[in-house]
Structure formats: C-alpha cells, structure tokens
Chain A
C-alpha cells in the first residue's frame, strides 16, 4: 500500500513513467540472453572496464579512499560540489584536480569510464537517491518535456507516454539511468549517460549538447530523480 502511494506521489510530482504498473528498468525490456550478459559480472562485456577501474582506483584514489567507502556515492550523483552541480565523472575529475593535483581525465576516455564504472559498481543494488537541487532539477525537468529537433519530439513523448511500444523494431524503454556507465552493445564499449543522451538527441534530429554541458548534467539530475528508489545496476548492459 505504502509502495503504491509512493509510486503515485512520484508520478504526480515528477510526471514520471510511474504508472499503475510501476517503473521498469531497461533491463526488463531486454532478451534473457542480454540480461545474462549483465548478470555475468566476471566475464560480461563490462568486466574489462571494471578491472581497469579497480587498478586505477588502487593507484590513485586509494591514497585517501577505500572501495568500501565508495558505497552509496554513485547513487547520489549528480550532486552539488562547491556550489556547482556535478555528475559522477565531473566529481571524479574535481577530486583529481583539487586533491591529487592531477589533470582531469577527458570525457568518455577509457580511464574516466573505468573509474566511474568501478566506483558505480560499489553502489550496485542500492536505491538511487539524489537530492532535489534547484533550480537545476526544474531545468532538467523542462528539458525532458521540451519538444526539440527536426522531429519536434520531447523525451517525455517516447519515454513517459509511449514506453513499451515499438520504435524501428526495438521496444521503447522508460529511460531510467539505472546502470551507467554501461556497456552498450551498439557502441561495443562502455559509455556514459551523457553519451547516451547525445545519441537520443541525434536520434530526434536535435543538436546535441557538448559533453559536460550544464543542460546535460541537469537532465541527468532529473532522470535520476525520476528513477528515485530504483536499484542501481552499474555497470549494466544495454542494446
């Protein structure tokens, strides 16, 4: 009963994909064989990034942090850091620059993705729990509902209103960022949520925001808030 009330409240507040059927992770829209690839942590496609992330963590971050200490971190991002809204990758870079006096890692670089995968992995199974930071959350919500691009589509039109239906043979998921960074079969590599959002925008024939753009981080915040309570699956596998 409480769960139902919570879901209804979420639907009301965030206009999210929460319906009587509840929110569903993209995991549920995949074939059992693709699901098995995500479940196979040891030799699944994201395994190599996890191992590299662990090695990088031990070499750099371990001076101050333990892997266990990273538990819950990924589930809280994007979050404020010194007054600015940062996603996990940006927070990792902030730490490198401020604490380690090391250069920031490039967006979508193997190293940054490996670190984000490893740190994200420490929160696997934990409920997504971002704080509602304003005015960023409202800006993200507006982006999600704004019609964009040549097709004049908004994210909400597919992912809130038409999830479960087909687009070019694929089933439209609800669009919850439950497993980022993740191995996208299409990329044949691990990539970030921002990379996926840029793909969405290209698909809508809209101009993509550059990596690290405020609009993308705010959209990430809204998406995470919309997925509040759903368990993190990092590193996930998706088609």
Chain B
C-alpha cells in the first residue's frame, strides 16, 4: 500500500504561506470496536505527525482515535528558504513513516 501522500508546492516566494496536505495509510483502529464474538480490538493508531523544515520543527500534531482512518492532516508554513520539508509519522506498534519534499524558495 502506498504509505503516505504529501502535497507540497515545489516552488514558493519567500514569505509566502504554503499549504501542506498529508495523508497516511493507516486504519486508525480506535480500541473501542469489538469482534463478532465480543472481544475488544486493541487500539492501533497514528499518534503523531511532525514536520521539520531544514531540520527545524515547524508543525506537530497529536492524533487520537477520533481521527478518521487514513488520517488527513493539512497545515501551513511560511516558505522561508529553499530546502527540505520532512514529515514523520509515528504511532502504536512501532508504526513509522517518513516523507521528504524539496522546496525551492525564490
């Protein structure tokens, strides 16, 4: 399964506020559902998404079971300089995913 989808503009003007759209493949099992036999299905969710811009954290989100499956998180950041935007997801049962995107700031 494609693990993540990230939409970042490849280019931006210095000082422009850009939108970053992220989607991660994950069932976000709430821990409140039960099987047909009544057994509780354990919680298994993405717990956090961190975005760094040339190594500096510019955004962090803490997710809870109330976030829908295949979590979409959209946020903004100021295009300050050319470089790398790195997104890192982490969650239960050792879940981890990373995505890097290059941005050219003119």
In the complex, A touching B, CB below 8 Å? yes
Check A43 against B68 for contact (C-beta < 8 Å): no
Check B21 against A48 for contact (C-beta < 8 Å): no
Q: Say whether, besides A43-B21, A43-B23, A188-B69, A51 and B2 are in contact (CB < 8 Å).
A: yes
B residues 16-65 with Cβ under 8 Å of A? 21-23, 25, 27
What's the minimum C-beta distance from A188 to chain B, rounded to whole angstroms?
4
Q: Which residues of B contact A48 (CB under 8 A)?
A: 1-2, 5, 23, 25, 70
Measured in the bound complex, the distance between the Cα atoms of B23 and A51 in whole Å is 12
Check B7 against A188 for contact (C-beta < 8 Å): no
Check A51 against B69 for contact (C-beta < 8 Å): no
Measured in the bound complex, the distance between the Cα atoms of B7 and A42 in whole Å is 8
Q: Say whether, besides A48-B2, A48-B5, A55-B2, A43 and B72 are in contact (CB < 8 Å).
A: yes
Check B27 against A51 for contact (C-beta < 8 Å): no
Measured in the bound complex, the distance between the Cα atoms of B72 and A43 in whole Å is 7
Check B27 against A47 for contact (C-beta < 8 Å): no
Check B68 against A188 for contact (C-beta < 8 Å): yes
Give the residue name and chain of the A residue nearest to B1 (CB).
Answer: A52
What's the minimum C-beta distance from B86 to chain A, rounded to whole angstroms?
18
What's the minimum C-beta distance from A105 to chain B, rounded to whole angstroms?
14
- A98-121 CB mask vs B (1 if < 8 Å, else 0) is 000000000000100000000000
Measured in the bound complex, the distance between the Cα atoms of B72 and A91 in whole Å is 33
Measured in the bound complex, the distance between the Cα atoms of B1 and A188 in whole Å is 15
Q: Which residues of A contact B22 (CB under 8 A)?
A: 43
A189 contacts B by Cβ under 8 Å: yes
Give the residue name and chain of the A residue nearest to B21 (CB).
Answer: A43
Measured in the bound complex, the distance between the Cα atoms of B4 and A42 in whole Å is 11
Measured in the bound complex, the distance between the Cα atoms of B68 and A189 in whole Å is 11
Check B5 against A47 for contact (C-beta < 8 Å): yes
Measured in the bound complex, the distance between the Cα atoms of B21 and A84 in whole Å is 44
Give the residue name and chain of the A residue nearest to B68 (CB).
Answer: A188
Check B27 against A188 for contact (C-beta < 8 Å): yes
Q: Which residues of A contact B2 (CB under 8 A)?
A: 48, 51-52, 55
A235 contacts B by Cβ under 8 Å: no
- B55-95 CB mask vs A (1 if < 8 Å, else 0) is 00000000000001110101000000000000000000000
Q: Which residues of A contact B5 (CB under 8 A)?
A: 42-43, 47-48, 51
Give the residue name and chain of the B residue nearest to A54 (CB).
Answer: B2
Measured in the bound complex, the distance between the Cα atoms of B1 and A185 in whole Å is 19
Q: Which residues of B contact A (CB under 8 A)?
A: 1-2, 5, 7, 21-23, 25, 27, 68-70, 72, 74
Q: Which residues of A contact B (CB under 8 A)?
A: 42-43, 45, 47-48, 51-52, 55, 110, 188-189
Known: A188-B68, A189-B69. 10 other contacts (CB 8 A): A42-B21, A43-B22, A43-B23, A43-B74, A48-B1, A48-B2, A48-B5, A48-B25, A188-B27, A188-B69
